Chain A
Amino acid sequence: MASSTRVTFPNKFLPYLLLAPQLAITAIFFYWPASQAIYQSVLREDPFGLSTQFVGLDNFRRVLGDPNYLNSLQVTVIFSVATALIAMALALLLAVMADKVIRGKGIYRTLLIWPYAVAPAIAGMLWLFLFNPSMGTLAHLVRSAGYNWDPLLNGDQAMVLIVSAAAWKQISYNFLFFVAGLQSIPKSLIEAAAIDGAGETKRFWTIVFPLLAPTTFFLLVVNTVYAFFDTFGIIHAVTGGGPGKATETLVYKVYNDGFVNLILGDSAAQSVILMIIVIGLTAIQFRYVERKVHYG
């Protein structure tokens, strides 16, 4: 097509005006805080901001040399991978099952979507009420069954608890997308495979799963970002990063060092590192993982 048929705006000002709200939001909620974080990360400041001193990259050096930082990196990887895997696998299983139901499809779907409406901190509190060793109902059952359930002191159990809460909350979201993805797969393909003698498992892995790849990839990105950032409320409500530092993720450490311990420089340096990690992760996901995704 010739370029003359393209829609053009005679008004030079209008496109900028239409873009302005989005640009303003990006500038106010991303560029401004991000630049503040970079600025703070090279400063040393007292909690009240009464004295400020430029220290160059000292904060970064200290953060990266801190064994606790490496520990929280490890915690974050374990937490994010576990949360994303569990949330996606269970959601896929539920979506495939819900797809087969003939009667009451709508009810199943609605009920499965509900947990998504629960705020992270509330989700954390719900799980805490069930599993807190001193007052939790289910914790009481587990303990009276003879199992020493004590996430207040046992780091692995604390991790299981927050992964469960975080994954539980995200299953609904993933479920919604998987259901939509399943609906867009042509029934004729599956029927043809069935006629050729492919069993249910074979049909799923050779037809359904590959055709769901765009959805799966999208959810992988969303779930990683979710596990990194949106789970703060859950961790804050359930474990507070403890016991010891067993559930202190990178984001939680930023909060803890900055807002609890009031070491703003170190906290800002960690935010900057976190920003770099997320930019890197997203770039890798789009460059390498996306190439393998087949958009049907």
Chain B
Amino acid sequence: MTFRGTSLSLALGIVLASSTSSFAVTEISWWHAMTGANNEVVNTLSKEFNESQSDYKVVPVFKGTYPETLNAGIAAFRAKQAPDIIQVFDAGTGVMMAAEGAIKPVADILSMGGAKFDKSLYLPGIVAYYSKPDGTMLSFPYNSSSPILYYNKDIFKKAGLDENKPPKTWPEVWDAAKKIKTSGAAKCGYTSAWLTWIHTENFAAWNNLPWGSNENGIGGVDVELKINAPIYVKHFQELADLAKDGTFRYGGRTSEAKPLFLSGECGIYNDSSGGLGDVIKSGMNYGTGPLPYDPEAKDAPQNTIPGGASLWVFAGKSEEQYKGVAAFFNFLSKTEIQARLHQVSGYLPVTLAAYEETKKSGFYGKNPGRETPIQQMMGKAPTENSKGVRLVNLPQVRDIQNEEFENMLSGKQTAQQALDNAVKRGNAAIKQAIGQ
């Protein structure tokens, strides 16, 4: 009797729950990887969107680092528990693109929201990177960044360098770093986050050199790496030589080098423009400059490639949920939201209108250097070397490079050996990933 009673009330409960949900708000889950100041931005945006209307509720969930978030999303998809929106970093773009059945193109979703989707409103270089070869935009560029140069003005002064003149080329960076070290202005001259993204992928685009075949993977999945060409070898051998006496300090594979710069141990630092928030927070006397280029590359500087992350939408959700996602993405595209995002975070604005608005407001005049990441990416029409880098397994290929770089920086191998190994192992991994 009791058993029947409970099952009856359970059944009733289910009926009640399902009937209430049909006229309640639709929840949109958003998995992301934003920490610190950028995490606050995610929460504020969700809150503002939720308060601006009553049909949908965006629920942001922090899922760890970029790779962890991607893997959590994939595991959830396999378990049929995928979130509606997931933030995927630049290197994961190829992974998501290869999974056509798992995702819903953002272009389709945005046109479901009622408003007509117009691709020309968005920054072309960024949109192209997140689009299929036929031009269909697959993901929403939430936070795009570009690598820039940071330097400590106090250390520059102490070393007798001009604090208003950041080094423009790599030889200038090496000279400044050596001067900082030998003058005793700081213990180390130069450090860098993301050796892969900055010193191979962006190094290639900025100097207009091929990183891999098939337009670095934009033109097709079958890619052979070209990063053991002499100009890369020279660049990395210089880094390895500077590492010997500590003029260059290695921090880690992603942005672990940041504390070395913030603590004043190193005078010059390369990182994403999205790292600006922490530099400002530290209260140091800093300056920024464009990403250095190699003067021996005849077309340098060309343009940098987008980094950061974009928002992907999983397939197999209800029409109602997609409408909610569309409403949220349209909200994110609003000029005032984009302009604010850009101005507080150091990420690039996604729409041209937001860029124009920021320009008109006089923000760049008051904050010199903040336009640099946009000019770097938009200054020249991209060539086949500088549209971006895309592989179905770029995270893995980056790790292979990192391992070889670490063995090079510890003196176990030369730059030539490191890059030859990275190409050999990387090519094998790409072949395996595309099933050849």
Residues of A that sit less than 8 Å from B by CB: 44, 46-50, 62, 134-135, 152-155, 240, 242-245, 256, 259-263
Residues of B within 8 A of A49 (CB): 77-78
Interface contact A134-B101, CB-CB below 8 Å: no
Q: Is the CB of A262 within 8 A of B74?
A: yes
Q: A47 vs B97: C-alpha distance in the bound complex, in angstroms?
A: 12
Q: Cβ of A244 and Cβ of B67 under 8 Å apart?
A: no
The complex places the Cα of A42 from the Cα of B79 at a distance, in Å, of 20
Q: Is the CB of B396 within 8 A of A260?
A: yes
Q: Which of A48, A134, A245, A263 contacts B260 (CB 8 A)?
A: A134
Verify A242–B406 contact, CB threshold 8 A.
yes
State the Cβ distance, A252 to closest chain B Cβ, in Å: 13
Instruction: Using A49-B78, A152-B406 as known contacts, list a sample of 10 further A-B pairs with CB atoms less than 8 Å apart, ordered by residue number in A.
Output: A47-B74, A47-B99, A48-B99, A48-B101, A49-B77, A134-B257, A242-B253, A243-B403, A260-B67, A261-B395
A155–B407 CA distance with the chains assembled, in angstroms: 9
Task: Number of B interface residues at 8 Å Cβ cutoff, please give it.
Answer: 39
Q: How far is the CA of A262 from the CA of B412 in the complex (A)?
A: 29
CA distance A49 to B429 in the complex (A): 19
- With both beta carbons as reference points, the residue of chain A lying nearest to B265 in the complex is identified as A134
Q: Report B65 CB to chain A, min CB distance, Å.
A: 11
Residue B251 lies at the interface, judged by CB distance under 8 Å to chain A:
yes
Q: Which residues of B contact A154 (CB under 8 A)?
A: 410
Q: B395–A44 contact, CB under 8 A? A: no
Q: Taking CB as reference atom, which chain A residue is nearest B95?
A: A47
- How far is B95's CA from A50's CA once the two chains are assembled, in angstroms? 13
Q: Which of B102, B257, B402 contacts A48 (CB 8 A)?
A: B102
| Beta-carbon contact of A262 and B95 below 8 Å | yes
* B409 touches A (CB below 8 Å): yes
Chain A residues whose C-beta falls within 8 Å of the C-beta of B404 in the assembled complex: 244
- CB-CB under 8 A for A153 and B259, given A47-B74, A48-B74, A260-B399: no
Shortest C-beta distance, A55 to chain B (Å), equals 10
**Minimum C-beta distance from A69 to chain B (A):** 13
Instruction: Kindly supply a per-residue 1/0 record for chain B positions 139-151, scoring 1 wherever the CB is within 8 Å of any chain A CB and 0 otherwise.
Output: 0000000000000
Residue of chain A at shortest CB distance from B102: A48
From DSSP, what is the main secondary structure of chain B's interface residues?
helix
Q: In the complex, how many angstroms separate the beta carbon of A48 from the nearest chain B beta carbon?
A: 4
CA distance A35 to B308 in the complex (A): 39
Given the interface pairs A48-B74, A48-B77, the reply to whether A135 lies near B259 with Cβ below 8 Å is: yes
B393 adjacent to chain A (CB < 8 Å): yes
Q: Which single residue of chain A is at the shortest CB-CB distance from B187? A: A143
The winner among A134, A261, A262 for most chain B CB atoms within 10 A is: A134
Task: Name the residue in A49, A50, A243, A256 with the highest tally of chain B Cβ atoms < 10 Å from its Cβ.
Answer: A243
Query: Could you tell me the distance between the alpha carbons of A234 and B260 in the complex, rounded to whole angstroms?
Result: 23
Task: Determine if B256 and A261 form an interchain contact, defined as CB atoms under 8 angstroms apart.
Answer: no
Residue B230 lies at the interface, judged by CB distance under 8 Å to chain A: no
Q: A108 to B67, alpha carbons, bound, how many Å?
A: 44
Bound-state Cα–Cα, A153 to B244, Å: 12
In-complex Cβ contact of A44 among B102, B256, B435 (8 A): B435
B296-323 vs A, Cβ < 8 Å mask (1 yes, 0 no): 0000000000000000000000000000
A–B Cβ pairs within 8 angstroms, 13 of them: A47-B74, A47-B95, A48-B77, A48-B78, A48-B101, A49-B78, A50-B100, A134-B260, A134-B265, A153-B250, A153-B410, A244-B406, A256-B399
Contact B407 A244 (CB under 8 A): yes
Does A242 contact B403, Cβ atoms closer than 8 Å?
A: yes
Q: How far is the CA of A120 from the CA of B433 in the complex (A)?
A: 33
Decide yes or no whether B71 CB sits under 8 A from chain A. Answer: yes
Residues of B within 8 A of A259 (CB): 71
Q: Please give the distance in Å from A155's CB to the nearest CB on chain B.
A: 7
Q: Which residue of A lies closest to B429 (CB)?
A: A261
CB of A243 within 8 A of CB of B74, answer: no
User: Are B67 and A243 in contact, CB atoms less than 8 angstroms apart?
Assistant: no
A245 and B77 form a contact (CB under 8 A): no
Residues from chain A with Cβ under 8 Å of B67 in the complex: 260
Q: Which residues of B contact A261 (CB under 8 A)?
A: 393, 395-396, 399, 429
Q: Which residues of B contact A244 (CB under 8 A)?
A: 403-404, 406-407, 410, 412
